[in-house]
């Protein structure tokens, strides 16, 4: 396992960048708090650091040059800087008011940091340029792209594991480090060991179950809708867009508690009296929940975005497969592309693509010629 002490000496300085240190105040788990049975909660900064550890471990294993190793750590630490208070739970609110989701905000922040020379003076020019090349889809770094944005990205390997921890369900557990041992590299190609296929399939099933049973459960949807409404009530004169990227969860929570109607919704949430969009209307508890929802009308456009935020998993549910395995270094392996095709291992996020940037295209747009404060003024968007 990798420790922070194993990182380059500049890593501690990277943690002092306000855009990164702010993530210590952004909770990772979002709507999963409604299903939590323990105190295994963490922040976006915790997640980013562990993603960096996994990336650095894989980079060492592959034998990446020092500059690429540094770029892997850098990209891992920057990949979530666009997460605003309460993370995914309020993405529809941010889309409605800021016109894009956290990926777009991340791209703005990264560009701003580079423009101000904040990154280069800590990490160096070459690693920063490599990081930019990877984000722009430069095919010179296919393995970096695979591990950062691919089928088994280090972000997903840590994120799914971390998301499952508060739920306390043993069937959702796996070891991220063991999953990273599944990989073999030959040239610029990534292979999976035959001995690891059962773990890969388990990882796929955990991810699918986590979304279907917990992240997008009726309770989680209700929590997201109620919290979205509470935040909306906290900004009666419109969102101060320049302030949101600087805020932590506690800052937004204080704003909600200052508004009596928003405070009441927060009280209901803390008591788990969730407005229900589903179920038997004749049930007394169900009726109470529906009455809670009726007391504060949801903005219909914003409500539609809350319920549009849905994942569709089109995966092969088989547990046995016909795979083309061949030997490498005393291991039978399968190429990552064949595994992807065989398992039909993909996730579709039902969002308008205008509002969502795939990671490798984060910086691929003309609008970054402008200063971030100019861009965060919603009257100055050049997106579409």
| The pLDDT of residue 353 | 33
Residues contacting residue 119 through CB under 8 Å, at least 6 positions apart: 74, 113, 128, 131
| The pLDDT of residue 89 | 85
CB 73 within 8 A of CB 52: yes
CA neighbours closer than 13 Å in the CB half-sphere of residue 199: 19
CB 193 within 8 A of CB 333: yes
Place of tokens 């650095």: 56
Collapsing DSSP to helix, strand or coil, 160 comes out as helix
* CB-neighbour burial class of residue 251 (10 A; exposed 0-12, middle 13-18, buried 19+): middle
Cα dist from 176 to 28, 199, 262, whole Å: 17, 10, 39
Cα dist from 295 to 45, 145, 199, whole Å: 37, 48, 47
| % of the chain residues with pLDDT over 90 | 33
CB 26 within 8 A of CB 248: yes
What is the reported pTM?
A: 0.82
Please write the tens of the pLDDT for every residue from 240-250. 767 888 999 99
| The pLDDT of residue 346 | 52
CA separation for the pair 3, 50 (Å, rounded): 9
CB 142 within 8 A of CB 337: no
CB 28 within 8 A of CB 42: yes
CA separation for the pair 75, 68 (Å, rounded): 10
CA separation for the pair 153, 207 (Å, rounded): 13
| The pLDDT of residue 279 | 43
Domains in the chain (CATH in brackets) are 4-216+319-380 (1.10.3210.10), 218-311 (no CATH)
Q: Which of 151, 178, 190 is nearest to 343 (CA)?
A: 151
Hey, CA dihedral for 147, 150, 151, 157, is it positive or negative?
positive
Please write the tens of the pLDDT for every residue from 195-248. 888 898 899 889 989 988 888 787 787 788 888 888 888 887 777 767 888 999
Q: Average pLDDT in the 145-163 region?
A: 90
Instruction: Write b or e for each residue in 8-18: b if 16 or more Cβ atoms lie within 10 A of its Cβ, otherwise e.
Output: beebeebbebe
Residues contacting residue 21 through CB under 8 Å, at least 6 positions apart: 15, 45
pLDDT band per the 50, 70, 90 thresholds, residue 361 = very low
Highest mean pLDDT among 35-39, 289-293, 317-321, 351-355 belongs to 35-39
Please write the tens of the pLDDT for every residue from 50-87. 999 999 999 998 889 999 999 999 999 999 999 999 98
**Count of CB atoms situated within 10 Å of the CB of 371:** 14
pLDDT band per the 50, 70, 90 thresholds, residue 363 = very low
Residues contacting residue 287 through CB under 8 Å, at least 6 positions apart: 281
């Amino acid at each position: 396992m990798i420790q922070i002490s194993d990182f380059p000496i500049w890593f501690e300085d990277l943690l002092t960048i306000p855009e990164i240190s702010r993530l210590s105040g952004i909770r990772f788990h979002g709507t999963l708090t409604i299903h939590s049975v323990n105190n295994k909660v963490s922040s976006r900064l915790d997640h980013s650091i562990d993603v960096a550890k996994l990336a650095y471990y894989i980079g060492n294993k592959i034998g990446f040059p020092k500059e690429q190793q540094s770029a892997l750590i850098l990209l891992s630490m920057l990949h979530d800087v666009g997460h605003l208070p309460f993370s995914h739970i309020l993405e529809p609110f941010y889309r409605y008011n800021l016109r894009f989701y956290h990926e777009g905000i991340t791209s703005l922040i990264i560009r701003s940091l580079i423009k101000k020379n904040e990154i280069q003076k800590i990490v160096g020019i070459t690693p920063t340029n490599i990081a930019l090349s990877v984000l722009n889809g430069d095919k010179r770094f296919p393995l970096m792209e695979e591990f950062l944005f691919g089928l088994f990205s280090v972000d997903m390997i840590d994120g799914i594991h971390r998301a499952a921890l508060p739920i306390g369900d043993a069937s959702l557990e796996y070891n991220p480090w063991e999953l990273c041992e599944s990989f073999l590299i030959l040239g610029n190609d990534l292979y999976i060991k035959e001995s690891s296929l059962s773990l890969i399939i388990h990882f796929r099933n955990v991810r699918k179950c986590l979304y279907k049973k917990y992240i997008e459960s009726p309770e989680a949807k209700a929590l997201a809708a109620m919290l979205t409404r509470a935040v909306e009530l906290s900004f009666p004169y419109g969102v101060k867009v320049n302030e949101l990227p600087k805020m932590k969860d506690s800052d937004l929570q204080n704003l909600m508690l200052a508004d009596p109607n928003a405070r009441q919704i927060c009280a209901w949430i803390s008591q788990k009296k969730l407005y229900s969009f589903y179920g038997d209307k004749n049930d007394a508890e169900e009726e109470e929940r529906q009455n809670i929802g009726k007391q504060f009308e949801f903005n219909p456009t914003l409500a539609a975005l809350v319920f549009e935020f849905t994942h569709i998993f089109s995966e092969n549910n088989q547990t046995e497969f016909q795979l083309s395995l061949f030997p490498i270094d005393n291991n039978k392996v399968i190429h990552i592309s064949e595994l992807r095709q065989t398992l039909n291992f993909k996730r579709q996020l039902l969002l308008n693509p205008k509002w969502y940037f795939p990671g490798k295209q984060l910086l691929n747009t003309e609008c970054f010629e402008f200063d971030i404060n100019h861009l965060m003024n919603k009257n100055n968007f050049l997106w579409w």
